[in-house]
Structure 1
Amino acid sequence: MGELRLAVVGDELVAGAGDPKGLGWVGRVAARTPLPDPPTVMTLAVPGETSTDLGGRWDAEVSRRLAPEADNRLVVALGRADVAAGLSLARSRLNLANVLDVAEQRRMPAFVVGPPPGDPADGDKLAELSVALGDVAARRRVPYVDMYSPLAAHDQWLADMAVSPRHLPGQAGYGLMAWLVLHTGWHQWLGLPDDAA
Protein backbone atom coordinates (compact mmCIF):
# COMPACT_ATOMS: atom_id res chain seq x y z
CA MET A 1 0.00 0.00 0.00
CA GLY A 2 1.32 3.45 -0.91
CA GLU A 3 0.98 6.57 1.14
CA LEU A 4 -2.48 6.79 2.69
CA ARG A 5 -4.22 10.10 2.04
CA LEU A 6 -7.45 10.75 3.88
CA ALA A 7 -9.52 13.71 2.76
CA VAL A 8 -12.14 14.56 5.39
CA VAL A 9 -14.91 16.88 4.20
CA GLY A 10 -17.55 18.35 6.46
CA ASP A 11 -18.54 21.23 8.71
CA GLU A 12 -17.05 22.76 11.86
CA LEU A 13 -17.12 19.41 13.67
CA VAL A 14 -14.46 18.13 11.24
CA ALA A 15 -12.28 21.08 12.25
CA GLY A 16 -12.71 20.30 15.96
CA ALA A 17 -14.48 23.58 16.74
CA GLY A 18 -15.05 23.92 20.46
CA ASP A 19 -12.33 21.44 21.44
CA PRO A 20 -9.84 23.03 23.88
CA LYS A 21 -7.21 20.53 22.71
CA GLY A 22 -7.81 21.38 19.05
CA LEU A 23 -7.93 17.72 18.02
CA GLY A 24 -11.60 17.16 17.37
CA TRP A 25 -12.67 13.64 16.50
CA VAL A 26 -10.52 13.56 13.37
CA GLY A 27 -7.27 14.15 15.26
CA ARG A 28 -8.19 11.58 17.89
CA VAL A 29 -9.04 8.96 15.27
CA ALA A 30 -5.80 9.62 13.37
CA ALA A 31 -3.80 9.27 16.60
CA ARG A 32 -5.46 5.91 17.33
CA THR A 33 -5.04 4.46 13.83
CA PRO A 34 -2.05 2.09 14.09
CA LEU A 35 -0.27 2.33 10.76
CA PRO A 36 3.51 2.03 10.34
CA ASP A 37 3.41 5.07 8.05
CA PRO A 38 0.93 7.59 9.52
CA PRO A 39 -1.66 8.79 6.99
CA THR A 40 -1.78 12.27 5.55
CA VAL A 41 -5.06 13.56 6.96
CA MET A 42 -6.52 16.61 5.26
CA THR A 43 -9.52 18.21 6.95
CA LEU A 44 -11.52 20.33 4.53
CA ALA A 45 -14.08 22.00 6.76
CA VAL A 46 -16.62 24.73 6.07
CA PRO A 47 -18.57 25.79 9.19
CA GLY A 48 -22.34 25.58 8.88
CA GLU A 49 -22.17 23.77 5.56
CA THR A 50 -25.19 21.87 4.24
CA SER A 51 -24.88 18.69 2.21
CA THR A 52 -25.83 20.74 -0.87
CA ASP A 53 -22.88 23.08 -0.31
CA LEU A 54 -20.56 20.17 0.41
CA GLY A 55 -21.69 18.42 -2.76
CA GLY A 56 -20.79 21.49 -4.80
CA ARG A 57 -17.23 21.85 -3.56
CA TRP A 58 -15.81 18.54 -2.39
CA ASP A 59 -14.64 17.07 -5.69
CA ALA A 60 -12.53 20.05 -6.77
CA GLU A 61 -11.04 20.52 -3.29
CA VAL A 62 -10.27 16.85 -2.74
CA SER A 63 -8.94 16.11 -6.23
CA ARG A 64 -6.09 18.61 -5.96
CA ARG A 65 -4.89 16.92 -2.77
CA LEU A 66 -4.64 13.38 -4.11
CA ALA A 67 -1.75 11.57 -5.71
CA PRO A 68 -1.98 8.82 -8.36
CA GLU A 69 0.44 6.59 -6.46
CA ALA A 70 -1.28 7.07 -3.09
CA ASP A 71 -4.11 5.15 -1.43
CA ASN A 72 -6.62 8.01 -1.66
CA ARG A 73 -9.72 7.81 0.53
CA LEU A 74 -12.66 10.06 1.33
CA VAL A 75 -14.37 10.62 4.68
CA VAL A 76 -17.69 12.45 4.39
CA ALA A 77 -18.77 13.90 7.74
CA LEU A 78 -22.26 15.30 7.47
CA GLY A 79 -23.29 17.79 10.12
CA ARG A 80 -26.55 19.25 11.34
CA ALA A 81 -26.87 22.18 8.92
CA ASP A 82 -29.35 20.39 6.63
CA VAL A 83 -31.91 20.44 9.44
CA ALA A 84 -31.24 24.09 10.30
CA ALA A 85 -31.55 25.04 6.60
CA GLY A 86 -34.82 23.13 6.18
CA LEU A 87 -33.52 20.74 3.50
CA SER A 88 -35.84 17.84 2.77
CA LEU A 89 -34.71 14.29 3.54
CA ALA A 90 -34.95 13.53 -0.17
CA ARG A 91 -32.52 16.38 -0.97
CA SER A 92 -30.07 15.32 1.75
CA ARG A 93 -30.19 11.72 0.51
CA LEU A 94 -29.58 12.79 -3.08
CA ASN A 95 -26.68 15.03 -2.09
CA LEU A 96 -24.91 12.21 -0.27
CA ALA A 97 -25.70 9.73 -3.04
CA ASN A 98 -24.11 12.03 -5.61
CA VAL A 99 -20.93 12.43 -3.54
CA LEU A 100 -20.60 8.68 -3.01
CA ASP A 101 -21.28 7.88 -6.66
CA VAL A 102 -18.59 10.29 -7.86
CA ALA A 103 -16.14 8.91 -5.28
CA GLU A 104 -16.81 5.42 -6.60
CA GLN A 105 -16.21 6.59 -10.18
CA ARG A 106 -12.87 8.02 -8.98
CA ARG A 107 -12.07 4.66 -7.32
CA MET A 108 -11.85 6.45 -3.99
CA PRO A 109 -13.13 4.35 -1.06
CA ALA A 110 -15.55 6.37 1.06
CA PHE A 111 -16.54 6.34 4.73
CA VAL A 112 -19.52 8.34 6.02
CA VAL A 113 -19.97 9.89 9.47
CA GLY A 114 -23.50 11.01 10.30
CA PRO A 115 -24.70 14.06 12.22
CA PRO A 116 -24.50 14.04 16.01
CA PRO A 117 -27.20 15.46 18.30
CA GLY A 118 -27.25 19.22 18.78
CA ASP A 119 -30.12 21.50 19.70
CA PRO A 120 -32.71 19.33 21.52
CA ALA A 121 -35.44 21.03 19.48
CA ASP A 122 -33.97 19.41 16.35
CA GLY A 123 -33.81 15.92 17.86
CA ASP A 124 -36.51 14.18 15.84
CA LYS A 125 -35.38 15.71 12.56
CA LEU A 126 -31.73 14.82 13.19
CA ALA A 127 -32.73 11.25 14.06
CA GLU A 128 -34.62 10.97 10.76
CA LEU A 129 -31.73 12.52 8.85
CA SER A 130 -29.25 10.08 10.37
CA VAL A 131 -31.39 7.08 9.39
CA ALA A 132 -31.85 8.42 5.85
CA LEU A 133 -28.12 9.03 5.33
CA GLY A 134 -27.30 5.62 6.76
CA ASP A 135 -29.64 4.04 4.24
CA VAL A 136 -27.93 5.83 1.34
CA ALA A 137 -24.53 4.59 2.54
CA ALA A 138 -25.79 1.04 3.11
CA ARG A 139 -27.22 0.84 -0.41
CA ARG A 140 -23.73 1.61 -1.71
CA ARG A 141 -21.98 -0.69 0.76
CA VAL A 142 -20.17 2.28 2.29
CA PRO A 143 -19.47 2.22 6.05
CA TYR A 144 -21.69 4.59 8.03
CA VAL A 145 -21.25 5.80 11.60
CA ASP A 146 -24.53 6.62 13.33
CA MET A 147 -23.54 9.41 15.70
CA TYR A 148 -27.07 10.32 16.65
CA SER A 149 -28.51 7.21 18.32
CA PRO A 150 -25.63 6.46 20.73
CA LEU A 151 -25.15 10.10 21.78
CA ALA A 152 -28.74 11.42 22.01
CA ALA A 153 -29.10 10.38 25.65
CA HIS A 154 -25.41 10.05 26.60
CA ASP A 155 -24.64 11.96 29.83
CA GLN A 156 -21.20 13.20 28.78
CA TRP A 157 -22.48 14.37 25.40
CA LEU A 158 -25.45 16.15 26.97
CA ALA A 159 -23.12 17.83 29.49
CA ASP A 160 -20.99 19.20 26.63
CA MET A 161 -24.08 20.44 24.79
CA ALA A 162 -25.41 22.13 27.92
CA VAL A 163 -22.40 24.43 28.23
CA SER A 164 -21.93 25.27 24.54
CA PRO A 165 -24.13 28.02 23.10
CA ARG A 166 -23.38 26.66 19.58
CA HIS A 167 -24.05 23.03 20.60
CA LEU A 168 -20.43 22.05 20.00
CA PRO A 169 -18.75 19.14 21.77
CA GLY A 170 -15.80 19.63 24.09
CA GLN A 171 -13.07 17.14 24.92
CA ALA A 172 -15.52 14.51 26.18
CA GLY A 173 -17.85 14.87 23.20
CA TYR A 174 -15.12 14.63 20.61
CA GLY A 175 -13.69 11.65 22.46
CA LEU A 176 -17.07 9.93 22.17
CA MET A 177 -17.29 10.74 18.48
CA ALA A 178 -13.80 9.34 17.88
CA TRP A 179 -14.67 6.16 19.80
CA LEU A 180 -17.74 5.62 17.63
CA VAL A 181 -15.74 6.04 14.42
CA LEU A 182 -12.99 3.71 15.63
CA HIS A 183 -15.53 1.04 16.62
CA THR A 184 -17.80 1.26 13.57
CA GLY A 185 -15.79 -0.24 10.77
CA TRP A 186 -12.85 2.19 10.62
CA HIS A 187 -10.10 -0.39 10.94
CA GLN A 188 -11.78 -2.83 8.56
CA TRP A 189 -12.19 0.00 6.03
CA LEU A 190 -8.44 0.63 6.19
CA GLY A 191 -7.64 -3.09 6.00
CA LEU A 192 -6.40 -3.26 9.61
CA PRO A 193 -7.24 -6.04 12.06
CA ASP A 194 -10.48 -5.64 14.03
CA ASP A 195 -8.58 -5.59 17.32
CA ALA A 196 -6.46 -2.62 16.23
CA ALA A 197 -8.66 -0.29 18.29
Structure 2
Amino acid sequence: MDGTVVDTEPYWMATEHAIAEANGGTWTQADAMSLVGNDLLVSGTYIKAKLHLDESPEEIVEMLLDGVVRQVEQAVPWCPGARELLLELHEAGVPCGLVTMSYQRFVAPILAQLPPETFRVVVTGDMVANGKPHPEPYLTAAAALGSRPEDCVAIEDSPPGAASALAAGMQVLVVPNHVEVPPQPGFHYRRSLTDVTAADLESLPFRDPSTVNLP
Protein backbone atom coordinates (compact mmCIF):
# COMPACT_ATOMS: atom_id res chain seq x y z
CA MET A 1 0.00 0.00 0.00
CA ASP A 2 2.51 2.62 1.15
CA GLY A 3 4.40 3.88 -1.88
CA THR A 4 2.44 1.69 -4.31
CA VAL A 5 -1.24 2.53 -3.90
CA VAL A 6 -0.82 5.70 -1.86
CA ASP A 7 2.29 7.83 -1.49
CA THR A 8 2.18 7.96 2.29
CA GLU A 9 5.91 7.49 2.83
CA PRO A 10 6.31 11.28 3.35
CA TYR A 11 3.66 11.01 6.10
CA TRP A 12 5.67 8.30 7.86
CA MET A 13 8.90 10.25 7.46
CA ALA A 14 7.34 13.45 8.81
CA THR A 15 6.03 11.55 11.83
CA GLU A 16 9.44 9.96 12.45
CA HIS A 17 11.07 13.40 12.37
CA ALA A 18 8.41 14.75 14.75
CA ILE A 19 9.02 11.92 17.24
CA ALA A 20 12.76 12.55 17.09
CA GLU A 21 12.33 16.29 17.59
CA ALA A 22 9.91 15.82 20.48
CA ASN A 23 12.47 13.61 22.21
CA GLY A 24 15.53 15.75 21.51
CA GLY A 25 16.97 13.29 19.04
CA THR A 26 18.39 13.48 15.54
CA TRP A 27 16.67 11.79 12.60
CA THR A 28 18.26 11.76 9.17
CA GLN A 29 16.95 11.13 5.69
CA ALA A 30 19.06 7.99 5.65
CA ASP A 31 17.28 6.78 8.80
CA ALA A 32 13.89 7.41 7.19
CA MET A 33 14.81 5.70 3.92
CA SER A 34 16.13 2.63 5.73
CA LEU A 35 12.65 1.95 7.14
CA VAL A 36 10.74 2.05 3.85
CA GLY A 37 8.79 -1.18 3.36
CA ASN A 38 9.75 -2.69 6.72
CA ASP A 39 7.58 -4.49 9.22
CA LEU A 40 6.39 -1.77 11.62
CA LEU A 41 7.85 -3.54 14.65
CA VAL A 42 11.22 -3.53 12.90
CA SER A 43 10.80 0.22 12.47
CA GLY A 44 9.72 0.63 16.09
CA THR A 45 12.79 -1.28 17.28
CA TYR A 46 15.07 0.85 15.08
CA ILE A 47 13.55 4.11 16.30
CA LYS A 48 13.79 3.03 19.94
CA ALA A 49 17.49 2.25 19.58
CA LYS A 50 18.29 5.31 17.47
CA LEU A 51 16.50 7.81 19.73
CA HIS A 52 17.09 5.96 23.04
CA LEU A 53 13.39 6.01 23.87
CA ASP A 54 11.86 4.46 26.98
CA GLU A 55 8.78 3.30 25.06
CA SER A 56 8.59 -0.25 23.74
CA PRO A 57 8.73 -0.90 19.97
CA GLU A 58 4.98 -1.63 20.12
CA GLU A 59 4.30 1.73 21.77
CA ILE A 60 6.47 3.51 19.21
CA VAL A 61 4.49 1.87 16.40
CA GLU A 62 1.31 3.30 17.91
CA MET A 63 2.95 6.73 18.05
CA LEU A 64 3.82 6.41 14.36
CA LEU A 65 0.29 5.33 13.49
CA ASP A 66 -1.23 8.21 15.45
CA GLY A 67 0.73 10.71 13.38
CA VAL A 68 0.20 9.08 10.01
CA VAL A 69 -3.51 8.36 10.48
CA ARG A 70 -4.12 12.04 11.30
CA GLN A 71 -2.54 13.00 7.98
CA VAL A 72 -4.38 10.34 5.95
CA GLU A 73 -7.72 11.44 7.38
CA GLN A 74 -7.03 14.89 5.97
CA ALA A 75 -5.90 13.76 2.51
CA VAL A 76 -5.29 10.42 0.76
CA PRO A 77 -2.28 10.89 -1.57
CA TRP A 78 -2.98 8.37 -4.36
CA CYS A 79 0.02 7.26 -6.41
CA PRO A 80 -0.34 8.10 -10.12
CA GLY A 81 -2.53 5.53 -11.87
CA ALA A 82 -3.06 3.36 -8.79
CA ARG A 83 -6.70 4.20 -8.10
CA GLU A 84 -7.56 3.97 -11.79
CA LEU A 85 -5.99 0.51 -12.09
CA LEU A 86 -7.78 -0.71 -8.97
CA LEU A 87 -11.13 0.50 -10.30
CA GLU A 88 -10.48 -1.22 -13.66
CA LEU A 89 -9.59 -4.50 -11.95
CA HIS A 90 -12.66 -4.21 -9.72
CA GLU A 91 -14.92 -3.57 -12.70
CA ALA A 92 -13.39 -6.56 -14.53
CA GLY A 93 -13.99 -8.83 -11.54
CA VAL A 94 -10.31 -9.53 -10.97
CA PRO A 95 -9.83 -10.58 -7.33
CA CYS A 96 -7.32 -8.33 -5.57
CA GLY A 97 -5.62 -8.50 -2.21
CA LEU A 98 -3.92 -5.73 -0.27
CA VAL A 99 -0.71 -6.83 1.44
CA THR A 100 0.76 -4.15 3.67
CA MET A 101 2.91 -3.96 6.76
CA SER A 102 0.77 -1.06 8.00
CA TYR A 103 -1.87 -1.87 10.60
CA GLN A 104 -5.62 -2.08 10.15
CA ARG A 105 -6.44 1.29 11.73
CA PHE A 106 -4.27 3.01 9.15
CA VAL A 107 -5.63 1.01 6.23
CA ALA A 108 -9.31 1.66 7.04
CA PRO A 109 -9.52 5.37 6.04
CA ILE A 110 -7.83 4.57 2.72
CA LEU A 111 -10.12 1.66 1.89
CA ALA A 112 -13.07 3.93 2.66
CA GLN A 113 -12.15 5.90 -0.47
CA LEU A 114 -12.62 2.84 -2.72
CA PRO A 115 -15.73 0.86 -3.73
CA PRO A 116 -16.58 -2.04 -1.39
CA GLU A 117 -14.73 -5.27 -2.20
CA THR A 118 -12.09 -3.47 -4.28
CA PHE A 119 -9.75 -5.58 -2.18
CA ARG A 120 -11.39 -8.91 -1.42
CA VAL A 121 -8.60 -9.70 1.02
CA VAL A 122 -6.59 -7.39 3.25
CA VAL A 123 -3.45 -8.65 5.01
CA THR A 124 -1.92 -6.15 7.44
CA GLY A 125 1.25 -6.25 9.48
CA ASP A 126 -0.63 -6.96 12.70
CA MET A 127 -2.17 -10.11 11.16
CA VAL A 128 1.02 -12.08 10.45
CA ALA A 129 3.80 -13.51 12.57
CA ASN A 130 6.49 -12.69 9.98
CA GLY A 131 6.47 -9.44 8.05
CA LYS A 132 8.08 -8.58 4.73
CA PRO A 133 10.58 -9.66 3.37
CA HIS A 134 9.32 -13.04 4.65
CA PRO A 135 6.84 -14.66 2.21
CA GLU A 136 4.14 -15.16 4.87
CA PRO A 137 2.16 -11.96 4.08
CA TYR A 138 1.81 -12.81 0.38
CA LEU A 139 1.22 -16.51 0.98
CA THR A 140 -1.53 -15.55 3.43
CA ALA A 141 -3.18 -13.28 0.85
CA ALA A 142 -3.01 -15.88 -1.93
CA ALA A 143 -4.55 -18.54 0.32
CA ALA A 144 -7.35 -16.20 1.36
CA LEU A 145 -8.06 -15.39 -2.30
CA GLY A 146 -8.12 -19.09 -3.13
CA SER A 147 -5.32 -18.57 -5.65
CA ARG A 148 -2.00 -20.29 -6.24
CA PRO A 149 0.88 -17.88 -5.59
CA GLU A 150 2.31 -18.59 -9.04
CA ASP A 151 -0.97 -17.36 -10.57
CA CYS A 152 -0.67 -13.99 -8.80
CA VAL A 153 0.99 -10.72 -9.74
CA ALA A 154 2.29 -8.58 -6.89
CA ILE A 155 2.87 -4.86 -7.36
CA GLU A 156 5.57 -3.52 -5.06
CA ASP A 157 7.76 -0.45 -4.57
CA SER A 158 10.33 -1.54 -1.97
CA PRO A 159 13.05 -4.19 -1.65
CA PRO A 160 11.41 -5.92 1.37
CA GLY A 161 8.03 -6.03 -0.35
CA ALA A 162 9.36 -7.26 -3.66
CA ALA A 163 11.47 -9.90 -1.91
CA SER A 164 8.42 -11.09 0.05
CA ALA A 165 6.32 -11.53 -3.08
CA LEU A 166 9.14 -13.23 -5.00
CA ALA A 167 9.81 -15.64 -2.13
CA ALA A 168 6.10 -16.48 -2.10
CA GLY A 169 6.39 -17.57 -5.74
CA MET A 170 4.61 -14.64 -7.37
CA GLN A 171 5.46 -12.63 -10.43
CA VAL A 172 6.47 -9.15 -9.28
CA LEU A 173 5.82 -5.82 -10.97
CA VAL A 174 8.14 -3.28 -9.37
CA VAL A 175 7.17 0.39 -9.48
CA PRO A 176 9.97 2.14 -7.56
CA ASN A 177 9.00 5.20 -5.58
CA HIS A 178 11.23 6.45 -2.78
CA VAL A 179 13.87 3.72 -2.86
CA GLU A 180 15.59 1.70 -5.58
CA VAL A 181 14.76 -1.97 -6.04
CA PRO A 182 17.77 -3.78 -7.58
CA PRO A 183 16.89 -5.92 -10.64
CA GLN A 184 16.72 -9.68 -10.34
CA PRO A 185 14.98 -12.55 -12.17
CA GLY A 186 11.23 -12.43 -11.65
CA PHE A 187 11.05 -8.62 -11.33
CA HIS A 188 9.42 -6.50 -14.03
CA TYR A 189 9.61 -2.72 -13.93
CA ARG A 190 7.41 0.24 -14.78
CA ARG A 191 8.08 3.88 -13.89
CA SER A 192 4.54 4.33 -12.59
CA LEU A 193 1.11 2.72 -12.71
CA THR A 194 -0.12 5.41 -15.09
CA ASP A 195 -1.49 3.65 -18.18
CA VAL A 196 -0.88 0.17 -16.68
CA THR A 197 -3.95 -1.95 -17.43
CA ALA A 198 -5.36 -5.30 -16.36
CA ALA A 199 -4.22 -6.68 -19.72
CA ASP A 200 -0.64 -5.54 -18.98
CA LEU A 201 -0.66 -7.53 -15.75
CA GLU A 202 -2.04 -10.58 -17.49
CA SER A 203 0.69 -10.46 -20.13
CA LEU A 204 3.59 -10.70 -17.68
CA PRO A 205 5.58 -13.92 -18.38
CA PHE A 206 5.25 -16.31 -15.47
CA ARG A 207 8.38 -18.11 -14.39
CA ASP A 208 8.88 -21.59 -13.02
CA PRO A 209 7.88 -21.43 -9.33
CA SER A 210 10.23 -24.32 -8.55
CA THR A 211 13.13 -21.86 -8.85
CA VAL A 212 11.93 -19.96 -5.78
CA ASN A 213 13.75 -20.69 -2.53
CA LEU A 214 11.64 -19.94 0.52
CA PRO A 215 13.69 -18.53 3.43
Which of the two has greater strand per residue?
1
Higher relative contact order (CA 8 A, sep 6+): 1
Q: Could you state the TM-score of these two structures normalised by the residue count of structure 2?
A: 0.32
Q: TM-score, length-normalised on structure 1? A: 0.34
